[in-house]
Amino acid sequence: MAGDRSTMEQPPLKVLLIEDNPGDADLVRERLTDETSVPFHVNWADTLEAARERLAQGGNELILLDLSLPDSQGLDTFRTIRGLAPQLPIVILTGLDDQELAFQTLHEGGQDFLVKGQASPQLLEKIIRYAMERKRAQAALLRSEEQRYRVLFETIPHPICVFSKKIGAFLAVNQAALDHYGYTKEEFLRIGILDLNGPESVEVTSAWLAGNDWRSPLRTRHRRKNGSDIDVEMTVGEVDFAAEPAAFAIITDISERRRAEEKMEYQASHDSLTGLANRAALREHVERMIARRQGNREVAFAFLMLDLDRFKEINDTLGHCYGDSVLQRLCPRLHACVRRTDTVARLGGDEFSIILDGASANEALLVAEKLESGISAPMLVGDHSLSVRASIGIALYPAHGQDWDTLLQHADIAMYAAKRARCGHAVYSDDQSSDPADQLELTSELRLAIEGNELELHYQPKLDIETRKVCGVEALIRWHHPRKGPLSASRIIALAENAGLIKPLGHWVFATAASQTVDWSRMGIDLEVAINLTPQNLQDPEFVESVIERIGQGNSHRLRLLVEITESAMISDPEQSTLILDRLHDVGVKISVDDFGTGYSSLAYLKELPVDELKIDQSFVHNMTDNSRDSCIVRTIIELGHNLGLRVVAEGVEQRSVLEILTGLGCDVAQGYYLSHPLTHQQFEQWYKSGEWTDGWACEPAGAA
């Protein structure tokens, strides 16, 4: 009971609560009056204007401030209240969980920053009591109440120093100052306030003290007698001391708080997995570099965008822990390829960026080659020896852009150009892409075109050379854009790859080609239709299942389907490719190796994979009449295919003489402009039924007499 009487006898701490929400105000009142060991008197204001009136009335000892008021918001609220009551401690109690706002209010003199719902009554009481102790110490010194001043001066656990306003020499210090800094009282009285500062902070502290504008505390760094540094926050006020104009400083050790702030700042600017700078930090760095270089055309830098090829397979096959380990082990390799003055950052996922300060195009290319070599070296992760490769795009400042967004876009475009060309790295050029905004618009329009069935397939006939009859067609995608006119298949595929639309595009092509083939079958046109598959289609379970399901429907109009896929796509994941192609082959789908001779040719893969057809790349077929080496390559591929029991198709046949040579070499099927351009389904039906003559070669319907 004695403790209770002691508590009751204490005068209540007068708190001005500035809070617009009545429910939150009642909750704070309840916690402070019912759940704390110290009595509180809470005065409430629900607007900034009401707070002005309460502050004008006086009698407040501390302010609990919500930053979101009906007539004021955020930092403006804090600055206004701080200006109205610079002598009162302010504790922020708000619903805004904003680190940057917290840093700024603390920097400008706030005592603490609490988020509603995260502060217990005990923590709130502790923070208020701490603020009130400081306030009472200030009040005691300012009122020159000697006895009260002495008690507080000696018992407050924070260093307090009184120093001359004229020369800065210490006039008095409390025991906490002696304990904290390690000096004796005599040693303290022989030095001044500036002597506590480290060399790097003397000038700033001196200027701040000379300015006499001490409404906000000063954050600085002090040095103890033993040479160790501490971060402090110093609140200064004026006082008369022994009839001499003086100032007092209440010093708070904020080293722990500063370390926490530095940790938060580090986390805000660095990638948590790799420790590299993150996207936000990189952008800030690039924008600073650009600002420093404005008007100086002789300086430049290179912006490299790096994306790991097939990294998703590591995550999908071995798990994300392996993928994370690869990313972490990649960082030292990236740093080893650049200088200390260069910047390496992780943008997210498997994308990295490197800024080469002062680098020319040639220097950037040399670094890109070093990066390719360094990245591709095998690394041991767990029990697995993994090797990854990267595609690198290079944009140069100021040639390829003079702001962050443009440089990022152009480096990204160059990176995708390198990825498509499988050449490792590429420097940005205007012909790699049209305007980025135009590309973005085209991508959006392509998505809508797929969903709205606005694309179309054209069909190029394939001629059985021996029988001189049409034996099939290849379905080729076309898009007649309302503004840009006809767009090529390669442009459409590139847009789809960049936008992640390859899977829906593949589904659309198959569904459209399958429906058209069934329609033709009903008309008596029984042909094999070939569609092109990308690696993404081959790895898409939904696509494979839709093909198998459609073929397995078993209606009277059978679907004769052939899929064309490049060598490189098949061997990118041989085991998965074999599994998928075997499933397709088992339901009657024929497999053709497209562009044969240009990829990673391997007899082993031809032996293991369920291949039915080799399609000779048109680069070898075009100039057979003029280039003996091309003719020799074509002959070799035909013989190889026949020895393996495969049908051989020559694409790119544009001259009668080429067709005659192919006939002599025993090629099975020909395709090209000499026979027919790609046709709409209506044009093809008319062409097929007419059996048009092409310079003496009759392209007859299959099954014609």
Mean pLDDT of 612-630: 83
> Where residue 290 sits, what CATH number does that domain have?
3.30.70.270
- Does 705 fall in a domain? no
pLDDT of res. 14: 87
| Lowest-confidence pick of 193-207, 391-405, 420-434 | 420-434
Top pLDDT among 48 and 113 is at: 48
pLDDT class of 698 with cuts at 50, 70, 90:
very low
Contact 668, 466 (CB under 8 A): yes
Contact 575, 317 (CB under 8 A): no
Whether residues 514 and 621 fall in one domain: yes
Whether residues 450 and 417 fall in one domain: no
DSSP 357-373: ET--HHHHHHHHHHHHH
Whether residues 561 and 642 fall in one domain: yes
pLDDT surpassing 90 at residue 37: no
Q: What is the 3-state secondary structure (H, E, C) of 519-588?
A: HHHHCCCCCEEEEECCHHHHCCHHHHHHHHHHHCCCCCCCCCEEEEEEHHHHHCCHHHHHHHHHHHHHCC
Question: Residue 250, exposed/middle/buried by CB under 10 A (0-12, 13-18, 19+)?
Answer: buried
pLDDT class of 147 with cuts at 50, 70, 90:
low
| CA–CA gap between residue 401 and residue 436 (Å, rounded) | 12
CA-closest candidate to residue 152, choices 132, 182, 178: 132
Whether residues 628 and 500 fall in one domain: yes
Tally of structural domains, the chain: 4
Order of strands across the sheet that contains 40-45: 40-45, 13-18, 62-65, 90-94, 112-115
- Give the containing element (helix H, strand E) for 4: helix 2-9
* pLDDT tens digits, one per residue of 218-243: 999 999 999 999 999 999 988 877 76
- Does 483 fall in a domain? yes
CA-closest candidate to residue 39, choices 63, 2, 12, 6: 12
| CA–CA gap between residue 168 and residue 193 (Å, rounded) | 6
Structural domain ending residue among the three candidates 209, 231, 259: 259
Cis peptide bond upstream of 398, omega within 30: yes
| CA–CA gap between residue 608 and residue 702 (Å, rounded) | 32
Q: How many CB atoms lie within 10 A of CB 273?
A: 13
pLDDT of res. 694: 46
Whether residues 79 and 120 fall in one domain: yes
Q: Which of 125-139, 323-337, 686-700 has the highest mean pLDDT?
A: 323-337
- Give the containing element (helix H, strand E) for 236: strand 229-241
* pLDDT tens digits, one per residue of 384-411: 888 788 999 999 998 888 899 999 989 9
CA pseudo-torsion sign 130, 132, 137, 138: positive
Mean pLDDT of 357-377: 87
| Lowest-confidence pick of 81-95, 274-288, 596-610, 648-662 | 596-610
Contact 353, 411 (CB under 8 A): yes
With both helix axes pointing from N to C terminus, report the angle between 628-643 and 656-665 in degrees, rounded to the nearest 10. 40
| Lowest-confidence pick of 22-36, 186-200, 223-237 | 22-36
Contacts by residues 155-162 (CB-CB < 8 Å, ≥ 24 positions apart): 156/250, 158/134, 158/250, 158/251, 158/252, 158/253, 159/250, 159/251, 160/248, 160/249, 160/250, 160/251, 161/188, 161/193, 161/248, 161/249, 161/251, 162/239, 162/241, 162/246, 162/247, 162/248, 162/249
- Does 264 fall in a domain? no
Residue 395 in tokens: 């944009």
> Where residue 472 sits, what CATH number does that domain have?
3.20.20.450
Which residue has 């059978």 as its token pair?
A: 558
Q: Which of 44-48, 200-204, 619-623 has the highest mean pLDDT?
A: 44-48
Whether residues 85 and 159 fall in one domain: no
* pLDDT tens digits, one per residue of 241-279: 776 788 888 998 988 888 888 888 888 889 989 999 999
Q: What is the 3-state secondary structure (H, E, C) of 238-298?
A: EEEECCEEEEEEEEEECHHHHHHHHHHHHHHHECCCCCCECHHHHHHHHHHHHHHHCCCCC
- Does 614 fall in a domain? yes
Whether residues 167 and 227 fall in one domain: yes
Q: What is the 3-state secondary structure (H, E, C) of 79-125?
A: HHHHHHCCCCCEEEEECCCCHHHHHHHHHCCCCEEEECCCCCHHHHH
| CA–CA gap between residue 70 and residue 68 (Å, rounded) | 7
Structural domain ending residue among the three candidates 234, 259, 284: 259
Structural domain ending residue among the three candidates 235, 259, 283: 259
| CA–CA gap between residue 418 and residue 412 (Å, rounded) | 10
pLDDT surpassing 50 at residue 688: yes
With both helix axes pointing from N to C terminus, report the angle between 320-336 and 361-376 in degrees, rounded to the nearest 10. 140
End-to-end CA distance of the chain: 118
| CA–CA gap between residue 438 and residue 431 (Å, rounded) | 14
Whether residues 184 and 302 fall in one domain: no
**Is 0.85 topped by the overall pTM?**
no
pLDDT surpassing 70 at residue 137: no
Amino acid letter, residue 406? T
CA dihedral 309, 314, 317, 318 (to 10 degrees): 170
pLDDT class of 52 with cuts at 50, 70, 90:
very high
Whether residues 429 and 462 fall in one domain: no
Q: How many CA atoms lie within 13 Å of 7's alpha carbon, on the beta-carbon side?
A: 11
Top pLDDT among 604 and 476 is at: 476
Mean pLDDT of 591-599: 77
Whether residues 24 and 67 fall in one domain: yes
DSSP 387-440: --EEEEEEEEETTT-SSHHHHHHHHHHHHHHHHHHT-SEEE--GGG-S-HHHHH
Whether residues 189 and 151 fall in one domain: yes
Contact 684, 462 (CB under 8 A): no
Whether residues 626 and 522 fall in one domain: yes
- Does 700 fall in a domain? no
pLDDT surpassing 50 at residue 653: yes
- Does 558 fall in a domain? yes
According to DSSP, the residues that pair with 482 across neighbouring strands are none
Mean pLDDT of 42-47: 92
The residues, ordered by sequence, that sit 6+ positions from 168 with a Cβ below 8 Å of its Cβ are 192, 193, 194, 209
Measure CA 93 to chain center.
Answer: 33
With both helix axes pointing from N to C terminus, report the angle between 502-522 and 489-499 in degrees, rounded to the nearest 10. 140
CA-closest candidate to residue 545, choices 504, 588, 580: 580
Segments forming the whole domain that contains residue 86: 2-140
According to DSSP, the residues that pair with 664 across neighbouring strands are none
- Does 642 fall in a domain? yes
- Does 169 fall in a domain? yes
Measure CA 556 to chain center.
Answer: 52
